[in-house]
Amino acid sequence: MKAILKDDIIINITLSDKGIEIGDIPKGIGLERLRFNGQQIVDLATLNQMYVFEPVPNFYELHILPIGQLVQMTYSNRHNLITSDGAIRIQSPEEIQIENIESQKQLIKNQVRKQIERKTGDYADQLANAYKLIFALIVYTRTRNSTLGSFFDKLIPFVADTYPLNKVHDILLQAVKDIREDMIDYYNRIDRLGE
CB-CB contact of 46 with 53 (8 Å): no
Does this model's pTM top 0.85? no
Examine the domain organization and report whether 14 and 78 are in the same domain.
yes
Sequential DSSP letters for 95-121? HHHHHHHHHHHHHHHHHHHHHHHHHH-
Classify residue 110: in a domain, yes or no.
no
Classify residue 165: in a domain, yes or no.
yes
Examine the domain organization and report whether 24 and 85 are in the same domain.
yes
Examine the domain organization and report whether 172 and 129 are in the same domain.
yes
Examine the domain organization and report whether 86 and 12 are in the same domain.
yes
Examine the domain organization and report whether 83 and 159 are in the same domain.
no
CA distances from 147 to 60, 92, 138, 143, 158 (A): 62, 58, 14, 11, 18
- Write out the residue range of the structural domain in which residue 165 sits: 121-193
Distance, first Cα to last Cα, the chain: 69
Give the contacts of 129 (CB within 8 A, at least 6 positions apart): 120, 121
Q: What is the pLDDT of residue 194?
A: 74
Examine the domain organization and report whether 6 and 80 are in the same domain.
yes
Phi/psi region, residue 54 (left: phi>0; alpha: psi -120 to 50; beta: rest), is beta
Domain count, the chain: 2
Classify residue 41: in a domain, yes or no.
yes
Classify residue 22: in a domain, yes or no.
yes
Examine the domain organization and report whether 9 and 62 are in the same domain.
yes
Classify residue 86: in a domain, yes or no.
yes
Classify residue 162: in a domain, yes or no.
yes
What is the distance of C-alpha 190 from the center of its chain? 31
Examine the domain organization and report whether 153 and 78 are in the same domain.
no
What pLDDT tens digit does each residue of the chain (195 aa) get? 899 999 999 999 988 888 899 999 999 999 999 999 999 999 999 999 999 999 999 999 999 999 999 999 999 999 999 999 999 999 999 999 999 999 999 999 999 999 999 999 999 999 999 999 999 999 999 999 999 999 999 999 998 999 899 989 999 999 999 999 999 999 999 999 877
CB-CB contact of 35 with 47 (8 Å): no
The kind and range of the H/E element at 69 are strand 69-72
Q: What is the pLDDT of residue 40?
A: 94
Classify residue 105: in a domain, yes or no.
no
CB-CB contact of 59 with 5 (8 Å): no
